[in-house]
Structure 1
Amino acid sequence: GLGMTAIWLTPIFENNPVQGPGGDESSGYHGYWITDFTNVDPHIGTREDFKTFVDAAHARGMKVYMDIITNHTADIIAYRECHDPEVTGGPIFRCEYRYIGDYPWTRRASDGAAINDGFLGDDGVHQNEENFAKLTEATWAYTPFVPEQFEGVKVPEWLNDPIYYHNRGDTDFIDEDSLYGDFAGLDDLNTAHPRVVEGMIDIYKDWITAYGVDGFRIDTAKHVRDEFWQQFAPSILEHASGLGVDHFHMFGEVYVDGQKPQHLAKFTTNAELPTVLDFAFQGSARALIVDGVPGLFMDDLYKADVIYANGTETARQLPTFLGNHDMGRFAGFLRESDPGMSDDEMLARVRLANALMFFGRGVPTVYYGDEQGFVSDGGDRLARENMFPSQTDLYNDNDLIGTDATTAEENFDTEHPLYQAIAQFAAIRTAEPALRRGEQITRIAHREDSVFVFSRVDYDAGTEIVVAINAEESAQKLNIAVDGRSENFSALLGQCASSATAPTSYAMTVPALDVVVCKSECGAE
């Protein structure tokens, strides 16, 4: 097969299917607008179906990761000042964010009356039950209410009380509102509130208990308080371990365009999450292979591995990826950068990007359909094509790469060249511990050309694997520094010379838009 060892699912929870004002509705097929955190959405199946799925994956030696949300729920809570026709004369889709300094917790927005006497705010030092017991009226910024048709719709029941939400209006993701604002109207949970912390921990413990899932991908992690994660992560890991799921793992989504490692690393230090999705790798790989930046920029990425909570040990566990359901697909970035790029060149560059991901440090994560040559027309819904035969014209007119098929047909072709390439890379990675756990050492980070060469070294086993990435349109002849004990080499991928040219030097020729992987076994220290 493809060689994947885990499956990351879309959120499976019962979900608000459609929301938004008349004429501007949006669909929640993706699962991120949850109403019932304890149940499976009917369009996916039942709880019994999910148990069958998890058991079937485990029987095949595969792990199952749930995509979870703690930042928000579906858009159920409304504000009188924006959504009550008797007040506004008609609903307003966007509610302007109201800052804490202008609308403090202790003053009612509508008339300025004192409320929540004795509440000291939500700074970390005040995140305790005694303080939050004084937060009893939720009218500090807007006047929240639940429309009659939505009363009691959320599960667990405590989620129906507006007191557990920020109720400050919509975020634009820039400053204070990034933590406190509603994401396109979605009800933003007050993750400083002890009841919210306790409730979310209980919800997700139950899913581990009931199904034995192996990990969580955590949506919108950067919009949640650090103090929440400091309690949530250890509680979940301890619970999983107590059930015998010692390998349970979590990674957070910290999504910012142009991401730098420092934006990510603080969520493993301050917030104490085990790992995060490596958006910095994604940006660097795109820059090298799509934009043609020098290899030097890849070296800058890996030099920053030391700033994660446990340095390179944590960096080796970061899920690396090339595209996703939000930003779009790697092939789409190529087509956007050069609409006239040939199918063969696009195929070569996507293959090369996957090689960089599979052989570099981190845990390679493939977005479904990439192995079938899906391209997409952009991000979000434009990049969520069906692998089963689609009836969506928006998808079916796409020109896939490496195939004459369209998304109007089913796309489960195990002979597709990208399927074959990814399967080959996965098999090499699985067979070579140095590619999974070895130290990564930059050997060549070219100042001018899109060329990057690195070694993965397992000192205990005495193994060095040299990976040469050439994103240039001409072959590259390279003399590469290697460990002085690396004398004899064999080919894992491409053509490799059988021996070093001199102690500490090895010559490689890398074809245009290609990768070569060579292995030396010199014995353990």
Structure 2
Amino acid sequence: MTFLPRLAALSAALLLAGCAATPPLAQAPAAASATAATAPSPKAEAGFAANPIVYFVVTDRFYNGNPANDRSYGRQPDGEREIGTFHGGDLAGLTAKLNEGYFKNLGVNALWITAPYEQLRGWVQGGKAEFKHYSYHGYYALDYTVLDQNMGTPDELRRFIDTAHAQGIRVLFDVVMNHPGYLDIETAQQLKIPVLWPGAYEKYNLKNYHSWIDYNGEQEKWAEWWGGDWVRAGLHGYPEGGSDDLTMQLAYLPDFRTDSKQPVSLPPFLKKKADTRAVDLPNTTVRGYLVKWLTDWVLDYGVDGFRVDTAKHVELDAWADLKQAGTQALADWKARNPDKKIDDAPFWMVGEVFPHGVERDAYFDNGFDSLLNFDLQDRQLLDPQALDSMYAEYAGKLSQGRAGGKPFDVLSYISSHDTRLFHREKLFDAASALMLAPGGVQIFYGDETARPDGPASSGDPQQSTRSSMNWNSIDQALLAHWQKLTQFRARHVALARGEHRKLSDAPYTFARTTQDDRVVVVLKAQGEISVNVAGVFRDGEVLRDAYSGTSATVSAGVVKLQATGPVLLEKA
């Protein structure tokens, strides 16, 4: 079958794109830390795997630390809505915000960044041919072995990771083993892949884009790209994509043949690519190359873990292979860099398996420490009764896994680049609901600052979730709210791992406890209140409200204090 009948569907299927035109990224003063000087120290048992607090940032949309790399490979703004173009954020920008203390003050212990390795160099049609769709998001890989120049240099990557580690913050790469990117016209021109019609490079535009690519061209010409041994693509000399999750061409992307047992050599375009670090590996399958390429970033730079994209579209044993190789690579890096490591914690993996909720399955036996929780965003987070029901359900399921000797975890969020942003006017309550949830939690960049939506495309509404960070319009009160909640969570593994118990309906009050850690939380409290903490804290114990910074002594099972928001009680 030729590729041509699919072109209309292809344009509508570009789901991983876009964002809005926003003002140039500008620097804002770092917000002051919300933690009072008398805050208790974190519990020793609250290690990362037990209490992950992950900040997900689309690097290109965050902060521009090095404007000199903004037009790498000839990439240009479109002069219109800038939905799918590169905005300028980079690794140097992340380092700048680390140096300002932004992430430390926020209390996160891991940064999940979009894949920084080289992406397709040009653009493809976005939505219904409405915008130029570049791979600023990192999901259209070209060369897994070198940094994308828009993201920065190897020195800038090393500086970013070292700076994060020095602050106790782990770095997670977003990675894809299901597919590389499409073949775009700019990449074909620059790498001399002979599948363009004469004049294509000078004449192509949004409306006639596909007509300048010879999809029915000779097999020998298309073999100059990845080749049929590497991917399913439905082109001459390439196998068709299948109809199941493991062999389908997701959004018509070329599908890596990670199931193949056949050894392969490097694809022709990589053999000729001047700056690649890829080399032929004897007796190595497609999967073997991908695992090697991805874990080399761990071995060379000390990347602490991966967020795995489209995990259900790749075989389970491939993820087990990736986890094993990543674990060995990180252990090797730590042995060589004892002064740069945070601790001896092993390599960590979280996967995207849409629409996974809070349940244990085979993914946790094949490399994954956690999976994204698609359930929480759709719950009634603003209703105390529904919220308590969700908390009890999550805590119970996670506890049963540990008690049964098969522990598992989930990473919950309220906003996502692939779904939607949570209602901007309700972020105070949503932040409380998320940061007090059992399991791991993930903050999507800008949820803490009320970053607004960008303009949408009728063909790809998700792109509106990826606007540039609102450094010039931060909601400082909201940011301070997130800082208090997140720093409180970082000190208390009980919130992630503890037994959940409701103490009161009005105002809604609950306890979360482990053998070594205890907290009591009152949501939406205002003014002078009395909180029943009997059975959680003893009479005579001095408790601190981490939100207001005030302290009170337990007497007759009760503490009395003046609430200024949610009450977050911990032992002083």
TM-score interval for Structure 1 and Structure 2 normalised by the shorter chain: 0.5 to 0.7
Partner of 1:443: 502
Partner deviation per Cα, 1:406-436 (whole Å, 9 max, x = no partner): x5xx4375x7112211222233334x34446
Task: Mark the CA change 1:500 to 1:69 in structure 2 (over 3 Å): closer, same or farther.
Answer: farther
Give secondary structure in 1 for the equivalent of 2:375: helix
CA displacement at 1:19 relative to structure 2: 2.1
Partner of 2:249: 182
Give secondary structure in 1 for the equivalent of 2:245: helix
1:241 has 2:348 as partner: no
Partner of 2:7: none
Query: 1:65–1:217: 8 Å Cα contact kept in structure 2?
Result: yes
Query: 1:493–1:517: 8 Å Cα contact kept in structure 2?
Result: yes
Query: 1:76–1:187: 8 Å Cα contact kept in structure 2?
Result: no
Partner of 2:442: 365
Task: Mark the CA change 1:4 to 1:51 in structure 2 (over 3 Å): closer, same or farther.
Answer: same
Partner of 1:338: none
Greater RCO (CA < 8 Å, at least 6 residues apart): 2
Amino acid at match of 2:382: I
Query: 2:300–2:333: 8 Å Cα contact kept in structure 1?
Result: no
Partner of 2:369: 274
Which structure 2 segments of 5+ residues have no match?
1-104, 185-194, 198-207, 236-241, 262-284, 335-340
CA distance in 2, matches of 1:496, 1:312: 39
Partner of 1:15: 119
Partner of 2:296: 206
Q: Choose the corresponding residue for 1:466, options 500, 507, 520.
A: 520
Structure 2 length normalisation: TM-score? 0.59
Partner of 2:567: 516
CA distance in 2, matches of 1:273, 1:143: 41
Q: Choose the corresponding residue for 1:381, options 451, 454, 463.
A: 463
Deviating above 6 A after TM superposition, structure 1's stretches of 4 or more consecutive aligned residues are 142-147, 309-313, 473-478, 507-512
Partner deviation per Cα, 1:29-51 (whole Å, 9 max, x = no partner): 21100111111112222333322
Q: Choose the corresponding residue for 1:40, options 119, 126, 147.
A: 147
Task: Mark the CA change 1:459 to 1:38 in structure 2 (over 3 Å): closer, same or farther.
Answer: same
Partner of 1:255: 354
Give secondary structure in 1 for the equivalent of 2:349: strand
Which structure 1 segments of 5+ residues have no match?
78-82, 86-90, 94-141, 154-159, 170-174, 333-345, 388-406
Task: Mark the CA change 1:291 to 1:192 in structure 2 (over 3 Å): closer, same or farther.
Answer: farther
1:225 has 2:315 as partner: yes
Task: Mark the CA change 1:363 to 1:313 in structure 2 (over 3 Å): closer, same or farther.
Answer: farther
Give secondary structure in 1 for the equivalent of 2:143: strand
Query: 1:443–1:480: 8 Å Cα contact kept in structure 2?
Result: no
Q: Choose the corresponding residue for 2:472, options 394, 411, 421.
A: 411
CA displacement at 1:260 relative to structure 2: 2.9
Partner of 1:323: 415
Partner deviation per Cα, 1:66-93 (whole Å, 9 max, x = no partner): 111111111249xxxxx999xxxxx998
Task: Mark the CA change 1:499 to 1:188 in structure 2 (over 3 Å): closer, same or farther.
Answer: same
Matches within 5 A, 1:8-407: 8-16=112-120, 17-20=122-125, 23=129, 26-76=133-183, 148=221, 152=224, 160-167=226-233, 177-194=244-261, 195-244=285-334, 246-247=344-345, 248-256=347-355, 259-262=356-359, 265-284=360-379, 287-289=380-382, 293=386, 295-306=388-399, 308=401, 314-315=407-408, 318-332=410-424, 346=425, 349-376=426-453, 380-387=462-469, 407=470
CA distance in 2, matches of 1:517, 1:273: 32
Give secondary structure in 2 for the equivalent of 1:330: coil
CA displacement at 1:218 relative to structure 2: 0.9
Partner deviation per Cα, 1:198-243 (whole Å, 9 max, x = no partner): 1121111211122111211111112211121122212221221232
CA displacement at 1:186 relative to structure 2: 0.9
CA distance in 1, matches of 2:419, 2:384: 16
Task: Mark the CA change 1:483 to 1:199 in structure 2 (over 3 Å): closer, same or farther.
Answer: same
CA displacement at 1:20 relative to structure 2: 4.0
Query: 1:331–1:375: 8 Å Cα contact kept in structure 2?
Result: no
RMSD: 4.2
Query: 1:454–1:466: 8 Å Cα contact kept in structure 2?
Result: yes
Partner deviation per Cα, 1:418-471 (whole Å, 9 max, x = no partner): 2211222233334x344466523232596xx9x7643232423xx421123359
The alignment covers a number of residue pairs equal to 397
Task: Mark the CA change 1:381 to 1:232 in structure 2 (over 3 Å): closer, same or farther.
Answer: same
CA distance in 2, matches of 1:327, 1:291: 24
Task: Mark the CA change 1:474 to 1:423 in structure 2 (over 3 Å): closer, same or farther.
Answer: closer
